[in-house]
């Protein structure tokens, strides 16, 4: 087993020279590109749909095309980062992201916006994939899960601001200003990468992009039971979150008539619950195995799915029904999500230190393909967005408890003592 690398000390090649806090900050910003690109965009979605005269399927395509490009592109970015290193892939990805954000803000029609969002998804794939791979470059599984949970706490803080900022900008300045704010985030993140991140990969793999080598690596990864279990877990958890993100703006701003600003404040509670979940994850990892953490969180997720279904079928028309009733099961799900994601994302790449980029890419690809399929289904079931949310959340919360119990639980136990 590889020993953990202290990011506060230089590697033999003199590549990492930064303190752990800087590593966590950079990871949070890179992983935070995903909620910035989706959550900040959500309050603007109904307004731009109306402004372009687009239909519901076209509106959902601005999300699903981005996510499909995000997932698919990682299959290229992962091996490329194993061959060239994480830094050049990060710098190239964040540059293309900034350019695509400018095009999105200036899009003259819905078709141009969909095309620009697709390019944005390709660029985002490079950044998020590399961030996950960096964790495996520097840390062993248990420590990696802790560091990932810290970075995802930062992601939660970023997500807290996204929807309120997006709602405020859309309400008072228009949806184009909301999309323009992504340019500022990308430029700031890119500058920090350029100044404070040198490289995390100790040994480049010059054969990573060769067809024979790539196919062999892919087969090795996808046949690995640890990868299968943890990747399925993180995919189901993300699919449940995406189901809410894709329906929430229509539930709260159209069906319930809430302002975009108030909708943003509701989403802050979701982000706060997610942050709480990441803290719970770190607390549990000091006491029990990763497998036990995941199983407990799986049952919590399943409870939230059942509660959401009950509220959706019995709530409308009742005096107690309202936005906070809908948010209750969502917040419960997000706390469990704060456990599933750091454990799932670090667990699925743990067996592959020599090809962490490729493993990270395959995990990201599976998450985004499922999200794309879910987004397509939601686009055809939006006559009642609340029921679409309830059915989708129950589906994925059921998958979570099944994957945790029959998959992750059977993986050999990794405890804190064994990792040390």
Instruction: Determine the pLDDT at residue 232.
Output: 93
Q: For residue range 336-384, what is the model confidence (pLDDT) as tens digits?
A: 999 998 888 888 888 887 777 788 888 888 887 888 788 778 877 777 8
Work out how many domains the chain is built from and give that number: 1
Kindly state whether residue 205 falls inside one of the protein's structural domains: no
**Would you say residue 268 has pLDDT above 60?**
yes
DSSP state, residue 223: T
Please give the mean pLDDT across all residues of the chain: 84
Contact 357, 81 (CB under 8 A): yes
Would you say residue 209 lies in a domain? no
pLDDT in tens, 291-308: 889 999 999 999 999 999
| pLDDT above 80 (res 283) | yes
Question: Cβ(18)–Cβ(7) under 8 Å?
Answer: yes
Beta-strand (E) ranges in 27-158? Answer: none
Does the residue 224 lie in any domain? yes
Residue 27 sits in a domain whose CATH number is 1.20.1250.20
Cα 251–268–37 angle (5° rounding)?
Answer: 75
Q: Region 107-136: what's the mean pLDDT? A: 90
Nearest to 48 by CA among 117, 115, 113: 113
On whether residue 151 sits in a domain, the answer given is: yes
Tell me, yes or no, whether 114 lies in a domain: yes
Tell me the CA distances in angstroms from 291 to 230, 301, 332, 346, 401, one per residue in order: 10, 15, 20, 12, 12
Q: What is the 3-state secondary structure (H, E, C) of 381-418?
A: CCCCHHHHHHHHHHHHHHHHHHHHHHCHHHCCCCCHHH
Look-up: residue for tokens 């936005």? 323
Each residue's pLDDT tens digit, 142-163: 777 778 888 888 888 887 788 7
| C-alpha R_g of the chain | 20
Q: Which two tokens stand for residue 338?
A: 């704060």
| Domain presence at residue 1 | no
Domain coverage including residue 92: 20-200+214-419
**Residue 413 — pLDDT band, cuts 50, 70, 90?**
low
Highest mean pLDDT among 5-14, 63-72, 235-244: 235-244
Closest alpha carbon to 48 in 121, 118, 114: 114
Global confidence as pTM: 0.75
Q: pLDDT-based confidence at 16, cuts 50/70/90?
A: very low
Burial (0-12, 13-18, 19+ Cβ within 10 Å), 223: exposed
Q: Determine, yes or no, domain membership for 12.
A: no
Asked if residue 171 is part of any domain, the answer here is: yes
């Amino acid at each position: 087993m590889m020993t953990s690398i202290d990011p506060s000390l230089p590697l033999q090649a003199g590549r990492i020279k930064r303190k752990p806090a800087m590593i966590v900050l950079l990871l949070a910003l890179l992983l935070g590109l995903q909620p910035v690109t989706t959550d900040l965009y959500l309050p603007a979605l109904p307004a731009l749909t109306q402004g372009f005269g687009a239909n519901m399927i076209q509106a959902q395509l601005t999300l699903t095309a981005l996510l499909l490009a995000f997932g698919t592109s990682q299959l290229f970015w992962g091996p490329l980062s194993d061959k060239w290193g994480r830094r050049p892939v990060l710098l190239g990805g964040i540059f293309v992201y900034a350019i695509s954000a400018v095009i999105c803000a200036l899009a003259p029609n819905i078709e141009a916006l969909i095309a620009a969002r697709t390019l944005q998804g390709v660029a985002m794939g490079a950044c998020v994939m590399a961030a996950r791979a960096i964790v495996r470059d520097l840390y062993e599984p248990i420590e990696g899960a802790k560091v990932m949970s810290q970075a995802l706490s930062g992601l939660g803080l970023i997500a807290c601001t996204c929807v309120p900022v997006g709602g405020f900008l859309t309400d008072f300045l228009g949806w184009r200003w909301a999309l323009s704010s992504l340019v500022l985030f990308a430029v700031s993140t890119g500058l920090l990468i350029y100044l404070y991140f040198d490289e995390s990969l100790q040994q480049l793999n010059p054969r990573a992009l060769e067809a024979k080598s790539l196919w062999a690596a892919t087969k090795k990864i996808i046949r690995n039971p640890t990868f299968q279990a943890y990747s399925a877990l993180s995919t189901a958890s993300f699919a449940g979150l995406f189901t809410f993100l894709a329906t929430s703006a229509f539930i709260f701003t159209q069906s319930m008539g809430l302002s975009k600003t108030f909708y943003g404040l509701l989403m802050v509670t979701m982000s706060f619950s997610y942050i709480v979940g990441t803290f719970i994850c770190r607390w549990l990892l000091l006491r029990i195995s990763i497998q036990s953490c995941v199983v407990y969180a799986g049952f919590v997720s399943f409870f939230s799915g059942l509660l959401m279904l009950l509220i959706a079928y019995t709530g409308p028309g009742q005096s107690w029904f309202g936005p906070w009733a809908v948010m209750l099961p969502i917040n419960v799900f997000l706390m469990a999500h704060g456990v599933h994601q750091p454990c799932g994302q670090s667990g699925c790449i743990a067996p592959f230190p020599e090809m962490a980029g490729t493993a990270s890419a395959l995990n990201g690809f599976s998450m985004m393909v499922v999200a794309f399929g879910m987004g397509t289904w939601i686009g055809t079931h939006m006559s009642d967005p609340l029921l679409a949310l309830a059915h989708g959340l129950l589906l994925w919360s059921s998958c979570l408890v099944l994957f945790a119990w029959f998959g992750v639980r059977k993986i050999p136990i990794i405890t804190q003592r064994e990792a040390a």
